Structure 1
Amino acid sequence: MTLEPLDVPPALPHAGRLLVAAPAMTDPNFARTVVFLLDHDEDGTLGVVLNRPSHVPVGAVLPSWDGRTTGADVVFDGGPVAEDSALGLALLPGPVDGPEPDGFRRVAGPYGLVDLDIDPDGAASTLSAVRIFAGYAGWAEGQLADEIARGDWYVVDGGSDDVFASDTADLWHRVLRRQPGDLAFLATPSVDPSLN
């Protein structure tokens, strides 16, 4: 049985939005994932998987950041590209249009990338949340648009409760469950995709 894509008007991807894998997504890199988009332009798309914590403590790879991350103090598997590199995703407190602290590059709204080579003590006083990712998810020009059109991904809005969730085990379900209309029904699919 072939699954038809859900009849939901596609939302446009842009930095700060979430990609939620469709239940039929079989790629082991992305099955049941929620991806936070860091960049989306004519050259392609870049994001990090939010719900794949590793068992590697932050202190094992970045000792100076040990104990300074939000939620579980582990490195998250950000995606299958450049898994030997680390990205620091951070949240600024206060007004979105305020000044950016040193070592911070705004991505969307209050979200940005923090330079992991800066002094984490100084950063901790200016950032309200930090999470560290090994690797990232990337799509070439037009690739993500094709995958969305095929029904592999749903593009939705998210918030800091998603991006810096302390418990990510059911993030995929939580994000889908709060969506309007048919998307909410996808939060509890059968484990057998042919029954969905």
Structure 2
Amino acid sequence: MTDVAPGMLLLATPGLTDPNFVDSVVLLLNADDGGVLGVVLNRPSQVPVAEITEISSWGPTLTSPEVLFRGGPVSVEGAIAVALLRDEDDEPVGFRSVRGRLGIVDLDTPVALFEGSLVGMRIFAGYAGWDPDQLQGEIERGDWYVAAGATGDLFRDDPTELWRDVMRRQPGRLAWHSTRPVDPDLN
């Protein structure tokens, strides 16, 4: 699978050595002629959202752990909130659908407008972005595996095993990568 679309996942292959993406799982939020944008799901920081004045009011809305996640190396001073609606037909003001119930929350919207509307939410500092043909080139070079996303991927209490768990559910030989050692040369 090499076609990318919002809601899909990119999983870093063992050959991808860029420290921003080693063993990362990236949720794609946008993919069009202007480029591709996503957030890294498995990089929680130690910074509680409650300590960030501009977004602290969203703390009670967040899924545990209520920390800021490192979404990627681009625009790390900005924040992107990714959420899952309880009901796809009840989209509150300030929510932009990415795929089905998955979407992006405008953090300038009053928190009260989302009361009871969300199953979960995470806030990411920065994002990962690619020019229109750049990501396809990286996939063809073997830097990324492309996989379907699942609802549970976004809201895990402990995202450290996310890469292996997503790989484990892939079809055929791709699932074998879930058991690869960190350094195959030591095997």
Superposition TM-score tier, normalisation by shorter sequence: over 0.9
Q: How far apart in 1 are the matches of 2:34 and 2:76?
A: 21
Q: Does 1:183 align with 2:135?
A: no
Output the CA distance in 2 between the equivalents of 1:146 and 1:178: 25
Runs of 4+ that moved beyond 4 A: 193-196
Is the 1:91–1:130 Cα contact (8 Å) retained in structure 2? yes
Q: Which letter does structure 1 place at the counterpart of 2:171? A: P
Name whichever of 185-194 and 150-159 sits farther off: 185-194
Q: 1:135 aligns with which of 104, 126, 134?
A: 126
Counterpart AA for 1:177: R
5+ residue gaps, structure 1: 1-9
Q: 1:129 to 1:142 in 2, by over 3 A?
A: same
**2:13–2:145 contact (8 Å) kept in structure 1:** yes
TM-score by length of 1: 0.89
Residues 66-105 of structure 1 show CA distances to partners (whole Å, capped at 9, x for unaligned) of 23201200000000000000011010113x4x24211101
| Paired letter, 1:68 | T
Count residues in correspondence. 185
Q: Deviation at 1:164?
A: 1.5
Distance 1:29 1:15 in 2: 21
Give the Cα separation in 2 of the matches to 1:124 and 1:167: 25
CA contact (8 A) 2:2 2:139 kept: no
Q: 1:165 aligns with which of 147, 156, 161?
A: 156
SS of equivalent to 1:35 = strand
Per the normalisation by structure 2, the TM-score is 0.94
Q: Give 2:119's aligned amino acid.
A: S
2:93 is the alignment partner of 1:102: yes
Partner of 1:88: 81
Superposed, which structure 2 residues align to 1:144-159 within 5 Å? 144-159=135-150
Identify the structure with the greater helix proportion.
Answer: 2
2:103 to 88, 99, 112: 112
The alignment-based identity, stated in percent, is: 50
Q: 5+ residue gaps in structure 2?
A: none
Tell me which residue corresponds to 1:4: none
Separation (CA, whole Å) in 1 of partners of 2:59 and 2:110:
12
**1:72 and 2:56 aligned:** no
Query: Which residue identity is paired with 2:180?
Result: P
RMSD: 1.5
